[in-house]
Amino acid sequence: KGRKLITDMEQQSASPINVLHAIRMTDKAWRRVSVTTISNYFKSCGFSMSQEEASEEPLEPDMSLEADWNKLQNTEVQFEDYVACDEGLATTGTLTDAEIIDIVNQDINEDNDDENDVDHTDPADFESLISNKEARAREADLSLKDVMISKIVYSVHYLNLKK
């Protein structure tokens, strides 16, 4: 599906993308990002692993940081250890069925709480409840679409750079 979208973009023809396709493409693009890519990004931002890579510009001393610097001198943490401290952390996970059910039940309870706040005997309140729910749903839908479109554009751009 991803290659077809790229071909369609190059040929300037429309190809339908639904939310599921967008999520799958985003997930696939993220899984292709390697540890080396992330490391290189940090290096390009000025984080380096060795003294040789550090810039040799003379810096003006900042007297307000001197006390903090003296405290740090007594630690035995190396830069490499600091950079790799979160290397083993999970960046993705899978929800269990019980967790998914809890999330859905929380959403249902929140919706029920919203409905209980309205006096159902007055039709005007009921109409405003419907319009508020529709507005929230449309806003969430638009926000999701905007996020997914930006992630897709980034993913396509990233894949084009990898060629």
Q: How many domains does the chain have?
A: 1
Write out the DSSP string of 90-142.
-S-----HHHHHHHHHHHHHHHHHHHHTS-TTSHHHHHHHHHHHHHHHHHHHH
Which positions ≥6 away from 78 have C-beta within 8 Å?
none
Q: Would you say residue 11 lies in a domain?
A: yes
Q: Would you say residue 89 lies in a domain?
A: yes
Q: Would you say residue 120 lies in a domain?
A: yes
Q: How far apart are CA 156 and CA 7, in angstroms?
A: 11
- pLDDT per residue over 13-53, tens digit each? 877 778 888 898 899 888 989 888 888 888 888 776 555 54
Q: Would you say residue 110 lies in a domain?
A: yes
The pLDDT mean for the chain works out to 71
Q: Would you say residue 56 lies in a domain?
A: no
**Residue 69, both tokens:** 């610097």
pTM of the predicted model, to two decimals?
0.27
Greater confidence, 128 or 36?
36
Full domain range(s) for residue 93: 2-51+73-162
Q: Would you say residue 67 lies in a domain?
A: no
